[in-house]
Chain A
Amino acid sequence: MSLSKQQVQHIAMLARLSLDDRDIDEVVEKLSSIVEFVDQLQAAPTDDVSPMAHPMNQVQRLRADAVTEPNERDRVQQNAPSVSDGVYLVPKVIE
C-alpha cells in the first residue's frame, strides 16, 4: 500500500517531526516503498499464532520498594538546554 502525502504529514505530526516541503515527495516515496515491502506479511498464515513480544519466555522480576537513587539534579541538568531554578523550561504550555 502506498501512502498519501496527507497520511505522511499526519504520521510526521504524531511523531513530532517537522517535514520540509522540499523533502516531502521523497519521504512519501521511501515510506511507501517500506510499507509495500512489509505488506508481504499480510499473506502469512497466522490465525492460531499468538503474538510474540519478547524473545525469551521470562516473567517480570520485582524490585524491593526501597529508595536507592540520590538527588543528582545539578549533574543531570548539565545536559539540559534550558533550565531555571532547577526546572526545565519549555515554551508556555496552554491548557
Chain B
Amino acid sequence: MSAWEVVIGLEIHTQLATRSKIFSGAATAYGATPNTQACLVDLGYPGVLPVLNEEVVRMACKFGLAVGANISRRSVFARKNYFYPDLPKGYQISQYELPIVEGGEMVITDATGKAKRIAITRAHLEEDAGKSVHEGFAENSGIDLNRAGTPLLEIVSEPDLRSAKEAVAYLRKIHAIVRYLEISDGNMQEGSFRCDANVSVRPVGQSELGTRAELKNLNSFRFVEKAINFEIERQVNLIEDGGEVVQETRLYDSDKDETRSMRSKEEANDYRYFPDPDLLPVVIDDAYINAVRASLPELPAAKQARFVQQYDLKSEDAEILTVSRAMADYFEACSESTNAGAQVIANWMLGELSAALNRDSIDISASQIAPAALAGLLTRIADATISGKIAKDVFEAMWAGQGTADEIIESKGLRQITDSSAIDAIVDEVIANNPSQASEYRAGKDKLLGFFVGQVMKASKGQANPAQVNDAVRRKLR
C-alpha cells in the first residue's frame, strides 16, 4: 500500500433548511405521508413554472462567504436532462457553467497534526429528486415525490484529500459550517447531508490522476471512511493483480461493507445541459453580499482561536467545544454563570456531560441540564461545598431530573464537612482505630498517608473536605 497515493474529492449534497421548496411553495418537512408535499411544480405538471426561493440564494451566499469563496454576481440555472422515475420533469434544475459559489477552501488537520488546505471548487444550487420505494409493491417500485424540489447546495471539493481520514475530517468541517450558518440541519440519517466520493489511486510520484470510481450513498461519517477504505483496497488489489480500474458509479452497501458497481447507471449518460429558459439569471449585487456578510455568525475556526485566547483552553478542547454552535454556546453560557474556571467547565462538558448526552442520544441543545444548572454544580465544587467526587453523583441526580445542584446537595445532605474540629474528631478516631499503621507512619512510612486519608473520607461518607483531611492527618501524625 505504501507505494500508492490515494486521491479523493468529495461532492457534498446539503439540503437547505428552508420552509418551502427551491422552486415551489410546497413544504419541505421530512417524513410526511407520500406525495402530500409534492405540488404541481414539484410533479412537473404541464404548464406550471418554477420561481426561485429567495432564502436559498441567501443561504448559498452565506456558505460561500464562510469558506472564503467568490459569490458570482450572475449565476444561471441549467437543466440536466435524464429520465428517472424520481425525477418528475425528466430534467433536474441545477447550476452548471455559472454556479453561485466558486472557489473557497476549508482547513483540516492532517495525520501529522498539521493544518492542510482543501480547495473547494464550487458550490451550486439545485433541486433534490424524489424517492423510489422498492418494497411492498410486488413487481413495481413506488415513487414518492415529497422530496422532489427540496433545495440542495452541492459543495464540490478539489481532489485534494489523501486518505479516508482526511475525507472525513473535511466532511466534518463542512458539516460544522453548514450547521453554524443554520443553512442545513445536517441530519445524515434523514439524508439532509450526504456525499459522493470520487476515489482513485496512483503510484506515489505520478502526477497524472488514476481512473476514479464515484461512490454513492454515503450517509454517515463512518460509512464514508469505510467505503473509501474498501474502495482504495479494491483498486490497489485490482491494479496489483494486473487489472484496470474502470470509471463507474459504485454503491456502498453498509450491510456487507463493500462497494459494488451500479450497472443500471452504466449506460452512457449525456445530460444535455442547457440554460433553463423558464428561469432568468440570478443577479446579486455588492450591497446584498455585504448584508449577508454582516449577518454571518462567528465561525468554528475563529471561535476556536478565541476560546484558546480568551479562556486559556487547550487547543484540542477548544476544537471540540466549537464543533457545533450549540456546544460553544453552552460553554459560554456556563462560563458566564460560574467562576469555576474554563478548563473545569471544558472537562465537565467533554466528560460527564458528553457521556450522558451520548448515552441517551440527546443533542446538547436539548440537554436536561441547562448551562446555568451545570454552572451551579461547578460553583459548588469551586467553593468547596462538595468534592469533585460527590459532584459526579449530584450530576447524575440532576440528569435524572431530581433538581438543581443545591437542592440535591441539601436534600441528600451531601454538603462537604469543612468544620476543622469535626474533621479532627474523625481523624483522631481513625488513628485510634489503627495504632500499628500510625506507628509505621511515624517511623517514616510516608506512603500510609493515603491510607489514613482514605479511611477518614470513608468514615465521613466522602463528605469531608479532602484538603483539610490531608492537613489534619499530617498534623496529627507528626
Are any A and B Cβ atoms less than 8 Å apart in their complex?
A: yes
Residues of A within 8 A of B (CB): 14, 16, 53-54, 58-69, 71-73, 76-77, 82, 84-95
The interface bits of chain B over 50-64 (1 if a CB of A lies within 8 angstroms of the residue's CB, else 0) are 011111110000000
Do residues B26 and A67 form an inter-chain contact, with CB atoms below 8 A?
yes
Do residues A91 and B140 form an inter-chain contact, with CB atoms below 8 A?
yes
Residue picked from A54, A63, A85, most chain B C-beta under 10 Å: A63
Cα-based distance from A67 to B275 in the complex (angstroms)? 27
Using A62-B53, A65-B54 as known contacts, say yes or no to A92 and B141 having CB atoms under 8 A apart: yes
Cα-based distance from A16 to B57 in the complex (angstroms)? 34
Do residues B20 and A95 form an inter-chain contact, with CB atoms below 8 A?
no
Cα-based distance from A95 to B253 in the complex (angstroms)? 12
Which chain A residues lie closer than 8 Å to B51 at the CB level? 61-63
Closest to B141 in A: A93
- Whether B314 is near chain A, meaning CB under 8 Å from some CB there, is no
Closest to A65 in B: B55
Do residues A86 and B26 form an inter-chain contact, with CB atoms below 8 A?
no
Which chain B residues lie closer than 8 Å to A65 at the CB level? 18-20, 53-56
Do residues B35 and A53 form an inter-chain contact, with CB atoms below 8 A?
no
Cα-based distance from A67 to B39 in the complex (angstroms)? 11
Do residues B83 and A67 form an inter-chain contact, with CB atoms below 8 A?
no
Cα-based distance from A82 to B85 in the complex (angstroms)? 13
Cα-based distance from A85 to B136 in the complex (angstroms)? 10
The interface bits of chain B over 255-289 (1 if a CB of A lies within 8 angstroms of the residue's CB, else 0) are 00000001010000010100101011111000000
Which chain A residues lie closer than 8 Å to B35 at the CB level? 73, 77, 86-88
Do residues B20 and A68 form an inter-chain contact, with CB atoms below 8 A?
yes
Which chain B residues lie closer than 8 Å to A86 at the CB level? 33-36, 144
Q: What is the CB-to-nearest-CB distance from A73 to chain B, in angstroms, rounded to a whole number?
A: 5
Do residues A89 and B137 form an inter-chain contact, with CB atoms below 8 A?
yes
Using A85-B142, A87-B137, A90-B85 as known contacts, say yes or no to A73 and B36 having CB atoms under 8 A apart: yes
Which chain B residues lie closer than 8 Å to A54 at the CB level? 277, 280
Query: Could you tell me how many residues of chain B have their Cβ less than 8 Å away from some Cβ of chain A?
Result: 52
Which chain B residues lie closer than 8 Å to A58 at the CB level? 280
Do residues B53 and A69 form an inter-chain contact, with CB atoms below 8 A?
no
Q: What is the CB-to-nearest-CB distance from B309 to chain A, in angstroms, rounded to a whole number?
A: 37
Which chain B residues lie closer than 8 Å to A66 at the CB level? 19-20, 25
Q: What is the CB-to-nearest-CB distance from A63 to chain B, in angstroms, rounded to a whole number?
A: 5
Q: What is the CB-to-nearest-CB distance from B80 to chain A, in angstroms, rounded to a whole number?
A: 13
Which chain A residues lie closer than 8 Å to B322 at the CB level? none
Using A84-B142, A86-B35, A90-B141 as known contacts, say yes or no to A59 and B43 having CB atoms under 8 A apart: no
- Whether B152 is near chain A, meaning CB under 8 Å from some CB there, is no
- Whether B134 is near chain A, meaning CB under 8 Å from some CB there, is yes
Do residues B264 and A76 form an inter-chain contact, with CB atoms below 8 A?
no
Closest to A90 in B: B85
Using A63-B52, A68-B25, A69-B24 as known contacts, say yes or no to A89 and B279 having CB atoms under 8 A apart: no
Query: Secondary structure of the B side of the interface?
Result: loop
The interface bits of chain B over 23-40 (1 if a CB of A lies within 8 angstroms of the residue's CB, else 0) are 011110000011111111
Closest to B151 in A: A65
Q: Which 4 A-B pairs have the closest CB atoms?
A: A68-B25, A87-B142, A62-B54, A69-B39
Cα-based distance from A53 to B83 in the complex (angstroms)? 24
Could you show 11 A-B contacts with beta carbons less than 8 Å apart?
Answer: A59-B283, A60-B282, A62-B52, A68-B25, A73-B35, A86-B36, A87-B133, A89-B137, A89-B140, A91-B139, A95-B262
Which chain A residues lie closer than 8 Å to B140 at the CB level? 82, 84, 89-92
Cα-based distance from A81 to B122 in the complex (angstroms)? 41
Which chain B residues lie closer than 8 Å to A76 at the CB level? 40, 43, 45
Do residues A90 and B264 form an inter-chain contact, with CB atoms below 8 A?
no
Using A16-B83, A67-B26 as known contacts, say yes or no to A90 and B143 having CB atoms under 8 A apart: yes
Which chain A residues lie closer than 8 Å to B139 at the CB level? 91-92
Q: What is the CB-to-nearest-CB distance from B459 to chain A, in angstroms, rounded to a whole number?
A: 66
**Extra pairs beyond A60-B280, A73-B38 (14, CB < 8 Å):** A14-B270, A60-B283, A62-B51, A62-B54, A63-B25, A65-B18, A66-B25, A69-B26, A76-B43, A86-B144, A87-B133, A87-B142, A87-B143, A93-B132
Which chain A residues lie closer than 8 Å to B26 at the CB level? 67, 69
Which chain B residues lie closer than 8 Å to A87 at the CB level? 34-35, 133, 137, 142-144
Using A68-B25, A73-B36 as known contacts, say yes or no to A93 and B54 having CB atoms under 8 A apart: no
Of residues 124 through 180 on chain B, the ones whose CB sits less than 8 Å from some CB of chain A are 132-134, 137, 139-145
Of residues 47 through 86 on chain B, the ones whose CB sits less than 8 Å from some CB of chain A are 51-57, 76-77, 83, 85
Q: What is the CB-to-nearest-CB distance from A82 to chain B, in angstroms, rounded to a whole number?
A: 8
Which chain B residues lie closer than 8 Å to A84 at the CB level? 137, 140, 142
Do residues A53 and B277 form an inter-chain contact, with CB atoms below 8 A?
yes
Q: What is the CB-to-nearest-CB distance from B448 to chain A, in angstroms, rounded to a whole number?
A: 71
- Whether B251 is near chain A, meaning CB under 8 Å from some CB there, is yes
Residue picked from B262, B272, B280, B282, most chain A C-beta under 10 Å: B280
Cα-based distance from A67 to B76 in the complex (angstroms)? 24
Q: What is the CB-to-nearest-CB distance from A13 to chain B, in angstroms, rounded to a whole number?
A: 8
Which chain A residues lie closer than 8 Å to B39 at the CB level? 69, 72
Cα-based distance from A43 to B96 in the complex (angstroms)? 28
Q: What is the CB-to-nearest-CB distance from B256 to chain A, in angstroms, rounded to a whole number?
A: 14
Closest to B280 in A: A60
